[in-house]
């Protein structure tokens, strides 16, 4: 099992959710986050004075998957979240030791 | 004939009271505007200051302010105010004396409201209220006695004789409030982080622009009472006409100010800065307040527009001098208040440029000087600024012990 953590542009969230849904992914956790990458921040003007926005708003999508689904899920996220412009985000894949469904007590791939 | 006079008396008094109520509502406008332009961690405290200063202003003006302003020295607590305003059918002022107090007192509160915005986010609550006691009980009434009260300035000269004219208080109310604010800000210092090394000016964006916009709309509405009520009567063809012109011009100036400030902000900063547009509308209103009864509607719009342009440059300039004014009160009410006074002789032949300048200087020197002394005494005794840590945490928790938007409390 793997845990995919994708950082995407907020306005792309609906498309990512739809693409994952089409693959049959049954659960996703979403968090509003802020951060910077190569896009860095940008400056804005407020009443004539500059202020730097160091951290840009992004959405973190976490999804737990069986190993065989990882490749297609990564492809789906990459396709749906891409704009081609800087700041499209990243996907991190990490091993997942176990998962437990709280209601039934099922574990492993049964639980995701 | 007597019945017509009684009707006129009743209508004028009613009009006066309703205009006073509109001006009272401006306190809500200031509260919303200031709450919108500070950071969310300082919201509760600025709201507390705004509503508390209103109560302090009304109480102090009742205790001694009204008597100082209208030359009834030695009297206190509005003695004799409940009587009849009519002594004969030829009486000029056709309204109840207590209505006059009510209309005057809400102006005092307006002047004090101006101060709270400029010193926001870093001044101690109780030091501010202590200043409010002196400002509304003595400093403003003394300056008011020289202008609307008609008294000689320290027995030396009389502003009215010099051709000074300030219809509803561009100078007497707005510039006076801003002068007190400037004195406070100079002794208080800028918010931490506002000015960096090497002349860097950091923006500290306001937390709630819907609230700031609502506040501006409320002030705009209240201003019809502020200027319209200053006609002092409505129950005759002549005064009704004057009231209508004042309403028209007040509105026109606000529009001119907003449009000019918004376009200028777009040209200077490349984006439509809402806060500048809001300040522009208020600048237009302040600019026309010194004389809303004689300009044409076009002149009023242009006067407002000049105010709107001036306020944007003034806000940027004050930042260069490191005078930190979170809501732009010193620019809107002080700089444009002065502009309003200077514009009066263009349309009002009864006033003169020298009279206006001497009047403006008199108001500024007195209010700024007296305020500096009071702020200084407060600074030396109780202190006027919260600690650095309290400023970082936010004065809501430090001064009021509660947040405006509490989370995770259950």
Nearest partner of A28 among A58, A65, A1, judged by Cα:
A65
The pair phi, psi for residue A43, each rounded to 5°, is -105, 150
User: Is residue B129 scored above 80 in pLDDT?
Assistant: yes
Q: Do B201 and A46 touch (CB under 8 A)?
A: no
Give the per-residue pLDDT at B72.
66
Residue whose tokens read 């604010």? B181
The Cα B17–Cα A103 span in angstroms is 67
Residue A42, beta-bridge partner list: A53
pLDDT in tens, B391-403: 999 999 999 999 9
Nearest partner of B206 among B355, B70, B38, B43, judged by Cα:
B38
Q: Please report the ipTM that was assigned to this predicted complex.
A: 0.77
Chain B CB within 8 Å of residue A32 CB:
no
Nearest CA in chain A to B317: A48
The average pLDDT across B170-189 equals 98
The proportion of chain B whose per-residue pLDDT surpasses 90, expressed as a percent, equals 87
The Cα A47–Cα B398 span in angstroms is 28
Q: Do B269 and A48 touch (CB under 8 A)?
A: yes
pLDDT in tens, B231-261: 999 999 999 999 999 999 999 999 999 999 9
- Decide: pTM greater than 0.90: no
Give the per-residue pLDDT at B88.
55
The Cα B376–Cα B317 span in angstroms is 25
The Cα A34–Cα A11 span in angstroms is 14
pLDDT in tens, B14-71: 999 999 999 999 999 999 999 999 999 999 999 999 999 999 999 999 999 999 998 6
Give the per-residue pLDDT at A39.
79
CA distance A5 to chain B (A): 27
Q: If you count them, how many residues does chain A have?
A: 112
Give the range among B65-74, B295-304, B314-323 with minimum mean pLDDT. Answer: B65-74
The CA-based diameter of chain B, rounded to the nearest angstrom, is 74
User: Is residue B282 scored above 70 in pLDDT?
Assistant: yes
Chain B CB within 8 Å of residue A49 CB:
yes
Q: Do A45 and B202 touch (CB under 8 A)?
A: no
pLDDT in tens, B180-213: 999 999 999 999 999 988 888 999 999 999 999 9
The Cα B152–Cα B56 span in angstroms is 28
User: Is residue B146 scored above 90 in pLDDT?
Assistant: yes
């Amino acid at each position: 099992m793997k845990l995919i953590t994708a950082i995407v542009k907020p306005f792309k969230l609906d498309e990512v959710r739809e693409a994952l849904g089409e693959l049959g992914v049954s659960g996703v956790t979403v968090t509003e986050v802020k951060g910077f990458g190569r896009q860095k921040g940008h400056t804005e003007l407020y009443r004539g004075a500059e202020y730097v926005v160091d951290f840009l708003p992004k959405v973190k999508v976490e999804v737990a998957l069986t190993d065989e689904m990882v490749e297609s899920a990564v492809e789906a996220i990459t396709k749906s979240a891409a704009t081609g412009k800087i700041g499209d985000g990243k996907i991190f894949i990490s091993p997942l030791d176990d998962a437990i469904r709280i209601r039934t007590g099922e574990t492993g791939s049964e639980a995701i | 004939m007597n019945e017509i006079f009684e009707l006129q008396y009743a209508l004028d008094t009613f009009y006066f009271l309703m205009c006073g109520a509109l001006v009272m509502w401006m306190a809500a406008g200031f509260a919303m505007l200031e709450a919108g332009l500070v950071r969310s961690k300082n919201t509760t405290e600025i709201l507390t200051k705004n509503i508390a200063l209103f109560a302090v202003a009304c109480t102090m003006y009742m205790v001694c302010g009204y008597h100082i302003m209208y030359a009834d020295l030695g009297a206190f607590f509005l003695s004799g105010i409940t009587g009849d305003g009519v002594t004969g059918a030829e009486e000029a002022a056709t309204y109840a004396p207590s209505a006059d107090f009510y209309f005057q007192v809400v102006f005092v509160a307006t002047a004090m409201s101006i101060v709270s915005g400029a010193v926001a986010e870093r001044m101690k609550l109780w030091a501010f209220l202590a200043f409010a006691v002196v400002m509304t009980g003595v400093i403003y009434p003394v300056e008011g006695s020289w202008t609307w009260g008609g008294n000689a300035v320290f027995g030396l000269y009389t502003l009215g004789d010099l051709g000074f004219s300030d219809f509803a208080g561009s100078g007497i109310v707005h510039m006076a409030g801003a002068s007190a604010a400037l004195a406070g800000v100079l002794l208080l210092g800028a918010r931490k982080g506002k000015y960096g090394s090497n002349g860097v000016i950091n923006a500290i964006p306001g937390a709630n622009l819907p609230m700031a916009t609502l506040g501006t709309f409320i002030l705009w509405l209240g201003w019809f009472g502020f200027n319209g009520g200053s006609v002092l009567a409505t129950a005759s063809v002549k005064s009704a006409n004057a009231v209508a012109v004042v309403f028209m011009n007040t509105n026109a100036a606000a529009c001119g100010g907003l449009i000019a400030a918004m376009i200028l902000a777009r040209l200077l900063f490349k984006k439509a800065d809402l806060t500048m547009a809001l300040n522009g509308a208020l600048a237009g209103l302040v600019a026309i307040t010194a004389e809303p009864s004689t300009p044409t509607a076009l002149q009023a719009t242009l006067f407002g527009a000049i105010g709107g342009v001036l306020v944007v440059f003034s806000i940027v300039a004050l930042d260069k001098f490191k005078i930190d004014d979170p809501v732009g009160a010193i620019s809107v009410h002080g700089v444009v208040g002065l502009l309003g006074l200077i514009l009066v002789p263009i349309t009002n032949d009864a006033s003169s440029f020298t009279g206006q300048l001497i009047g403006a200087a008199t108001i500024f020197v007195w209010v700024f000087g007296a305020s500096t002394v009071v702020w200084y005494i407060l600074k030396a005794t109780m202190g006027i600024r919260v600690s650095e840590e309290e400023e970082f945490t936010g004065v809501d928790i430090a001064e009021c012990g509660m947040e405006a938007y509490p989370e995770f409390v259950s």
